[in-house]
Structure 1
Amino acid sequence: MLHRSGRTCWKRFAGVLIAGATASAALGIGMAQGALAASFLISGERFQVAADTLRARGVSIYPMIDVAKKGTLVPVVVLGFRRAYISGLCLSVELPVPVLGPYTLVLTGGERRRVEATNLFIDATSVSAAQANTTDIDIGVAAGAIRKGPINPGDRKSRFFDPNVFAQQAQSAFLTDVRVTSVAVTAGTLNIPGLNLRLEQGRHRCF
């Protein structure tokens, strides 16, 4: 029975989906497609995405398998948003530099005006939030039956996409103090006011 309304915490269910994604790695070997009909192999490097707040309309959560350039299979939970509004965005990835040691590429924005995105997909290996409120949520919907939120067009074509697997969808969501470890982020459009991109020596993670 699908729940047509209410509020719930995503942290528990993100953990369930990560476990489901790990189990689905045994399905076979294939290529996970990227968003908007553009397929790509991920680098396999995990990076951090943090936000003070994330407000979204049209939400989907489903398990998937990404494929790294060297052929490694990476189980992920895909967070999909038709429209997303983010304040206090931070993205960081560590880059080992021969001889010089570690450097960190850091991107920040959305401090005074919110970051806006459409058809945003975050391929995550872990997700947490201090508070997560949702409206009109369905838990346990089949991935192939998701209608409220988006499905990455490339994922739908992938042999790793199981239309019968456990998934979630919601009309809207509001999260605070968001912390995500991700291997890929794609968006139809992404507007970042106050963009600051810098390369810093040492380790300077978002969290």
Structure 2
Amino acid sequence: MRVEGRVLWKRFALVFVPGALVMALLLDGIMRGAIGATFVVADGTIKASAREVRQGPFASYGGYVVNSAGDHIPVLVNRISHLSAWDFCQSSIMHTPIGPVTLRVTGGHDSPVRARDLTTYEIMLAGDITYFNLEVNRDAATLDAVPNFTGPPGDFGQQGTSGVIFNFRDINWAVTAKMFSVPDSHLTVRRNGPECF
């Protein structure tokens, strides 16, 4: 008579162990920040601009984000411990059944926009930039300017103690923050509306 419900432990181990190892590596990479945004990014980027940006300790390394098609998009992963921005603007294009729509948020005119533990997945940065105590091409695994933020061993990394950027402009695939405060915020949603730049 055939016995039902037997577990073939060798076959189970062959399937389970590699999967568990991959999951452990993924979780470790996410916790260390070595893997890009932990969500699938939309098919458009985010533009941001400001008259002036002042930031505290920061660190960066090369990484990637993943879109809905499964494409791996290269980015510079930046973590900034705290940031203040004046005359701030952020915009993105939404593709809708009625055509392109611009989502635009402005604020920080009288008092600054503030962010804490800000992470950006950047593809462009422009402005008049001054960094302090800058270290470029440091091994990403040894970054220590921002707590709990390192990259893969042997990869490019950079960090500094602070920075000032005038006429700030950047483009990102994703942005996350523990806190993001926008005083005097104003949101507009317009067909073919203007972007920040």
Report if TM-score (shorter chain) is over 0.5: yes
Offset from partner CA, 1:180-203 (integer Å, 9 cap, x none):
111100001111111111101213
1:11-26 equivalence runs, <5 A: none
Q: CA deviation at 1:151?
A: 5.7
Residues 197 and 151 (structure 1 numbering): CA distance in 2 closer, same or farther, change over 3 Å? Answer: farther
- Off by >2 Å, runs of 4+ in structure 1: 30-35, 149-152
Structure 1: runs of 5+ lacking an equivalent: 1-29
Offset from partner CA, 1:59-118 (integer Å, 9 cap, x none):
1121111111321111001222101111111111112232x3221000111111101111
User: Relative contact order: is structure 1 or structure 2 higher (C-alpha 8 Å, sep ≥ 6)?
Assistant: 1
Preserved contact between residue 117 and residue 190 of structure 1 (Cα < 8 Å)? yes
Residues 110 and 150 (structure 1 numbering): CA distance in 2 closer, same or farther, change over 3 Å? Answer: farther
User: Identity of paired residues, percent?
Assistant: 23
Q: CA deviation at 1:171?
A: 0.4
Q: Give the aligned length.
A: 167
RMSD value, Cα: 2.2
Q: Which of 141, 163, 169 does residue 173 from structure 1 map onto?
A: 163
Q: For the residues of structure 1 that align with 2:192 and 2:172, how far apart are their CA atoms?
A: 20
1:59-138 equivalence runs, <5 A: 59-98=58-97, 100-129=98-127, 131-138=128-135
Preserved contact between residue 125 and residue 182 of structure 1 (Cα < 8 Å)? yes
Q: CA deviation at 1:138?
A: 1.0
TM-score, normalising length: structure 1: 0.74
Residues 88 and 150 (structure 1 numbering): CA distance in 2 closer, same or farther, change over 3 Å? Answer: farther
Alignment partner, residue 26 of structure 1: none
Alignment partner, residue 189 of structure 1: 179
The reply to whether residue 145 of structure 1 matches residue 109 of structure 2 is no
Offset from partner CA, 1:22-59 (integer Å, 9 cap, x none):
xxxxxxxx898597xx9312123212111111101111
- 1:74 partner SS: strand
Please say which structure displays the higher CA radius of gyration.
2
TM-score, normalising length: structure 2: 0.77
